[in-house]
Structure 1
């Protein structure tokens, strides 16, 4: 079995800001995750801590009470729920107005297709902003960056509701995309900071079900607000929720950034210490210009890049495509009001995603447990998680075909609604598996991985408003669905390759050398 070398920071090197390399051979189970190594004066001793089933905890927690891995379970769940709800608010900021494109277009005297561009702009900048937030969060902490970006999201959403001209609305939507971009990436990093390997699939599943369902929940209040109050309240509501979440996090969200191997801080109130707004920057960690560029390194790893590509295509076709086309299609085909469109789109997709999560997270965690049970070397094979993706990969194009053929042949509205539900069931499984798989492969770089996936999703998704209606009108929605289903299946091919050769590819590429102590 191959082995890797692990860099260990002793107390003296940490305090001086210098790195002293003590080479310890461990099994290739994600570097820092497979062993607990305590370095003394010139000697190293290994002491494994076990979970309730007798398997080694991965990653191994330190003896520091303020280590997020040592948080009590109720606090871990509280962290998970807060960052998950924040992930929900990201697409909610962008998509609540979608059922209200008709009154929005009427107010600004534009078409409903052009009205969808303000959603497209917000999605695009939500993919760009994280390239600024992640380096800041890796240096100064997840907590202060999330609080600051949440305020930006709240203020810009309020500004969108107050916008008097189309250009003002576009400008505030740009800022809203930048503010909400941290919700997707830093939240995934905090989940990885806090939960062990055997819990991570379920925790990531909860995080992704909030993330995925947000765009499906948003049309429900958005439709009623657009029809009975004003389209402006489709922006005010997210602003209120953003600010409410800011207050909750200010008092309830601890810092989870932790440098593995750092000197424990002696305190009788470790959790309260983690609630500080500043002063938790790891010793020897300073923000450098290069930090804003090194995050692009993750694009060179095939398992990350091609997983992000498949995820981006699947998410765009399963979630964003129905969201940006429903206001136009359901109004033209079924004469639906904004509230009726919101209910059909929201309930069908919400049910599908929730059922997908009930299957996804539990199954892949169970698969990982069974793969480790009985192995003496306890080698972690992240590719085991990929076996849980098959149901999602098969159902995703089926749901797309149901949607396309039902739209083309003008069936009852329940037809395309069922297509929504099947697609969202599938994308929830796909999201949970791919987020968990890549976090297992490169745990210290989880925020950067989430950043790559978010960038891909937002970049591919932002184009949908420009071509979806036009393509379906020109070639027929049934042929559009067939074409897009084939695109999705082709983009899935690399995932199949990873199932059988992923470990070989990762061993050949090696592991990233930055943030290895996180």
Structure 2
């Protein structure tokens, strides 16, 4: 139960539970005489956040509408991320057609990544002010135009400009779906769905080079961008007709508490005026209260209204909201938990980026001499790893959190997710060692690809999902801004890495580059130990921040 919005109720809960409650701490069980809406009859299945009594509330939507919204938001994530990182197998053809060198070709990817990160300083404020629906539609349209431009570009400068526009349009691929997950899914479901999001985000980055390499080898690299045009056009049509607005203004707990007290008073009055004996009153009143508060007549039965398909939903003070949403991602750099998530996501993703931008450099040269199609197919190993990460991580982190919650008397802390990182950190280290030494000493490609690439795929689906879910659980009202901070941090590092990795590896070899990256990744993940024991104290420091009131 979300209980951080009202001071009086908060103090009552702390007294009854004998624990301090800060933003991010959730009550997953009934407390005293207070009964909450649950996912089942068991008292430890309290739904967080509590749904309203409105059938149009996204939390109340039927499985069909929730699945539709999740499918389309996932389709946006996949289709927008499909193009920006697909260039690696095409580098030989791009170098030839645009008369450049390897560093110049890699720069197409680098500038796209850089613009993509900062574009969310534009998209997320719009998402807050006007809704998720218009942002998904407009950004997909921008990506569609960028793909047409890429397919028609005949010079280095033109293709470089199209890469910038593509990066700008693809920003919501990294920020929209986590916000939509927070809109329509309950707390105990978010770990699995955030893993789904990262799986399709990085899955798109893995599948696209496979397809791009094959098309560049058998047809022409331009055909890949016409494939993008078709994919984005299809998703755009589905969004216009089938994606409802998921943003919803939630009633504060204080209002709910007043409503419950009124109902309780009403129930008492009815009992007092009845013809039953006085002795029957105590036994009937709790039953009436319980029945009223732990049942939602529209849960899993609701649907969006026609108004939720309007072009946009504007907030009351759009200018103020825009300014706040532009400022908050910068302010969040002062929040240690958000910083931890940003660095774990950034360096876990950079492990994958190293593989993406170096594969042609290694496998297209002696002793391998593979063509672009074969190099592209090597990414299937990363895809297999991502699938393993999807299957294992979401349920593992949610299960560990639920077990820890039961042990903690129904009180859930966001830090309970962090131990789920341990197996994936070990897998990440193994994968990097195999890739680094395999690259340097020209091991059999099967070892590098089947072990190294698969391990890197597993960790990139798991570690970012765990870290970002931890940050969102701690600061739910600003989930979109959290992902802006994460994306800016991630893409700044990715741009620098893509800009300098080619000359660096040519000068120093692969081991120093990859080992430095794995040491930094391990260091940031190891900080999770500190946050596991002291994260609640850090949440205490930011407990009175205005971000919790947004």
TM-score by length of 2: 0.83
Measured after TM superposition, the shift of residue 24 of structure 1 is 5.5
| 1:49 to 2:37 alignment | yes
User: CA separation of 1:193/1:162 partners in 2, compared to 1, >3 Å: closer, same or farther?
Assistant: same
- Alpha-carbon RMSD across the aligned residues, in angstroms, is 2.7
Q: Map 1:194-213 to 2 at 5 A.
A: 194-213=184-203
Report the equivalent of 2:425. Answer: 393
| Shift in Å, 1:178 | 0.7
2:126 aligns with 136
CA distance in structure 1 between the aligned counterparts of 2:193 and 2:431, rounded to whole angstroms: 26
Label 1:291 to 1:427 Cα distance change in 2 as closer, same or farther (>3 A).
Answer: closer
Give the CA deviation at 1:35: 9.1
Q: Counterparts in 2 of 1:43-122, with a 5 A limit?
A: 47-52=35-40, 53-55=42-44, 56-122=46-112
Q: Which moved more, 1:485-494 or 1:180-189?
A: 485-494
Deviation of 1:399 (Å): 0.7
Report the CA distance between 1:310 and its aligned residue.
2.2
Question: Match of 1:471?
Answer: 504
Quote the offset at 1:276 in angstroms. Answer: 1.9
Structure 1 distance, partners of 2:325, 2:427, is 40
Alignment partner of 1:372 out of 402, 405, 410: 405
Rate the CA distance shift 1:356–1:82 in 2: closer, same or farther, 3 A.
same
Counterpart CA distance in 2 for 1:447 and 1:406 is 39
Q: 1:136 to 1:335 in 2, by over 3 A?
A: same
Cα 1:247–1:301 change in 2 (3 A) is same
CA distance in 1, matches of 2:37, 2:165: 45
Q: Does the CA-based 8 Å contact 1:97-1:231 persist in structure 2?
A: no
What is the Cα deviation at residue 488 of structure 1? Answer: 2.0
1:15: which partner in 2?
none
What displacement does 1:274 show? Answer: 5.1
Alpha-carbon distance between aligned partners in 1 of 2:135 and 2:548, rounded to the nearest angstrom: 18
**2:336 aligns with one of 285, 302, 307:** 302
1:218 partnered with 2:211? no
1:92-111 Cα deviation digits (max 9, x unpaired): 11122221110111001111
1:402 paired to 2:434: yes
Q: Do the aligned partners of residues 393 and 269 (structure 1) sit closer, same or farther apart at CA in structure 2, a change above 3 Å counting?
A: closer
TM-fit CA distance, 1:474: 2.1
Other-structure match for 2:486? 453
Tell me the distance in 2 between the aligned counterparts of 1:22 and 1:251.
Answer: 44
Distance 1:224 1:409, change over 3 A: same
Aligned to 1:42: none
Which SS does the other structure have where 1:278 is aligned?
coil
Match of 1:40 in 2: none
**CA pair 58-48 structure 1, distance change in 2 beyond 3 A:** same
- Cα offset for 1:291? 3.5
Offset at residue 437 of structure 1 (A): 1.2
How far did 1:5 drift?
5.4
8 Å contact 2:57–2:304 — kept in the other structure? no
Match of 2:306 in 1: 273
Residue in 2 that maps onto 1:414? 446
Deviations 1:399-457 (A, max 9, x none): 11100111111112112212111111122110221122112111111111111122222
Paired residues, number: 490
Partner of 2:166: 176
Distance (Å, rounded) in 2 between the aligned partners of 1:237 and 1:211: 18
1:368-427, Cα deviation, whole Å (9 max, x unpaired): 111222654x32201010010011112212211100111111112112212111111122
Residue aligning to 1:6: 5
| Residue 422 of structure 2 corresponds to residue 432 of structure 1 | no
1:121-170 deviation digits (Å, cap 9, x = unpaired):
11111101101111111111010111111100110111111112111111
5+ unaligned residues in a row in structure 1: which ranges? Answer: 8-20, 37-44
Q: Paired residue for 1:152?
A: 142
Q: Provide the C-alpha distance between the structure 1 equivalents of 2:154 and 2:437, rounded to a whole number of angstroms.
A: 40
The answer on whether the counterparts of 2:382 and 2:453 sit within 8 Å (CA) in structure 1 is yes
2:234 to 237, 244, 267: 244
Shift of 1:112: 2.4
Alignment of 1:339-350 (within 5 A): 339-344=373-378, 346-350=379-383
Report the 3-state secondary structure (helix = DSSP H, G, I; strand = E; otherwise coil) of the residue aligned with 1:137: helix
Query: Is structure 2 residue 509 aligned with structure 1 residue 484?
Result: no
- Asked if structure 1 preserves the Cα contact closer than 8 Å seen for 2:363 and 2:369, the reply is yes
Take 2:420 and 2:302, find their aligned partners in 1: how far apart are those partners? 41
d(CA) in 1 for partners of 2:302, 2:470: 35
SS in 2 for 1:143: helix
1:235 equivalent in alignment to 2:260: no
Displacement of 1:512 after TM fit?
4.1
Residue of structure 1 equivalent to 2:114: 124
Distance in 1 separating the partners of 2:58 and 2:25: 15
Contact 2:25 2:414 in 1 (8 A): no
Q: CA shift at 1:77, angstroms?
A: 2.2
Bigger CA radius of gyration: 2
Instruction: Give the deviation of 1:272 after TM superposition.
Output: 3.4
Deviation at 1:59, TM superposition (A): 1.0
Q: Assess, with a 3 A threshold, how the Cα gap between structure 1 residues 4 and 62 changes in structure 2: closer, same or farther.
A: closer
Mapped to 2, the partners of 1:81 and 1:382 lie a distance apart of 27
How far apart are the structure 1 equivalents of 2:22 and 2:401? 13
Report SS of the residue matched to 2:100: coil
Give the deviation of 1:479 after TM superposition.
3.4
